[in-house]
Amino acid sequence: MATGIWVRLMHKNHILRDAAVDCAHNEWQTALDTACRQLDMPRPLILARHERDWEQFNQARFLPEHFMESVPFDRMEVEFIDPDKKKKNPNPYAPLL
């Protein structure tokens, strides 16, 4: 996968099921539709909060109350994966390994 989203269905900090879909950063909602179909799950309601989290952190978390149907997990995590993007060094004083 070049770039895309990784969708994880979580229950008590364990991944129940996951899916990965290729997409550009700004096409995440369309890719989320595809991932939900792959996982045979309903699509969550996307709120302004989710869009802000996506823009700031490249991820969004959906709780059971964000779905119109009942779901068998504690949360759905959607994260943008870009393997070419270099990670920032969290501590500028730590040596680079």
Q: How confident is the model at residue 72 (pLDDT cuts 50, 70, 90)?
A: very high
- What is the rounded distance in angstroms from the CA atom of residue 41 to the CA atom of residue 44? 9
The pLDDT of 30-39, averaged and rounded, is 96
SS3 per residue for 52-86: HHHHHHCEEEECHHHCCCCCCCCEEEEEEECCCCC
Q: How confident is the model at residue 53 (pLDDT cuts 50, 70, 90)?
A: very high
Virtual torsion, Cα 55, 59, 64, 68, nearest 10 deg: 50
Q: What is the pLDDT of residue 89?
A: 54
Q: Residue 31 in 3-state DSSP?
A: helix
